[in-house]
Structure 1
Amino acid sequence: MTLLRLNEPLPGQYSLLLDAGTAPVDSVIGELGHEPNGYFWAGVAEVLVSTESPALEGRFAYDPEAGMFCAYGTDRGALQELEALMNTVATDGERMRRLVTDAEARGFEFDD
């Protein structure tokens, strides 16, 4: 199941998008005390990059909104890697639960 979309709105410019409220793990996010909005998903992306793929750090930027997660940049490969990481969490409730619990135990605060 692919929830995220990688677009090329301009030649060489890429956007990775996720419509907030459309993931199978939204109820788990709510149980954990969070709102599954774009800002929350940006936090998920930050945690995934810092803990699982630090080589992605600085290769794209985030521009979330309440209704949508967005990461963008010129490095299509980096955004494809982020897409794969996020899809695994967005479709697996236990994986999401572990990610949030572990991140909060380390002091990470989700901005939702």
Structure 2
Amino acid sequence: MDPLKLIETSPGNFSLIMNAGGTPADVVVGESGHEPNGYFWGGMAQWLVRTQVPEVEGRVKFDPEAGMFCAYGPDREALAVLGTALAAVVNAPDLLPALIAKGEAEGIDFDD
């Protein structure tokens, strides 16, 4: 799941986090007209929930910031599923242009 980390923040509560701006995908994100920040990755995570891992819909919440992507909630399994899907994109930047184009066409705001 690297570069994402799944941590228990308090008993029964978990966060899926990633430092933005230092991922293998940063250059491609920039070339696509976006900033590789937490807000971008929050939009990408929402797009992945809609298209690739719909089973986690409603089971995770998002709280990205400029320098960090964060999803959280009590459902560790849902966060792990999302983390695996997001890591696959972060670590295979060649997938990003098509995902971004499809997401934007469907109204996803890669809020950066």
TM over 0.5, shorter chain: yes
Worse-matched range after superposition: 7-16 or 92-101: 92-101
Count of residue pairs brought into register by the alignment:
112
CA displacement at 1:69 relative to structure 2:
0.4
Aligned residue number for residue 26 of structure 2: 26
Q: What is the alpha-carbon root mean square deviation over aligned residues?
A: 1.0
- TM-score (ref. length: structure 2): 0.96
Aligned residue number for residue 51 of structure 1: 51
CA distance in structure 1 between the aligned counterparts of 2:93 and 2:61, rounded to whole angstroms: 26
CA displacement at 1:86 relative to structure 2:
0.3
Residue by residue over 1:57-86, the C-alpha shift from the partner in whole angstroms, topping out at 9 and shown as x without a partner, is 110100111000000000000000000000
Aligned residue number for residue 78 of structure 2: 78
CA distance in structure 2 between the aligned counterparts of 1:12 and 1:4, rounded to whole angstroms: 19
Worse-matched range after superposition: 101-110 or 77-86: 101-110
Aligned residue number for residue 88 of structure 2: 88
Aligned residue number for residue 40 of structure 2: 40
Paired amino acid for 1:74: P
Aligned residue number for residue 98 of structure 1: 98
CA displacement at 1:54 relative to structure 2:
1.1
Alignment of 1:60-71 (within 5 A): 60-71=60-71
Residue by residue over 1:1-42, the C-alpha shift from the partner in whole angstroms, topping out at 9 and shown as x without a partner, is 710000001111000000010210100000000001111000
CA distance in structure 1 between the aligned counterparts of 2:62 and 2:14, rounded to whole angstroms: 12
CA distance in structure 1 between the aligned counterparts of 2:85 and 2:3, rounded to whole angstroms: 12
Paired amino acid for 1:41: W
CA distance in structure 2 between the aligned counterparts of 1:63 and 1:108, rounded to whole angstroms: 16
Paired amino acid for 1:8: E
Gap regions ≥5 residues in structure 2: none
User: Does the residue aligned with 1:22 lie in a helix, a strand or coil?
Assistant: coil
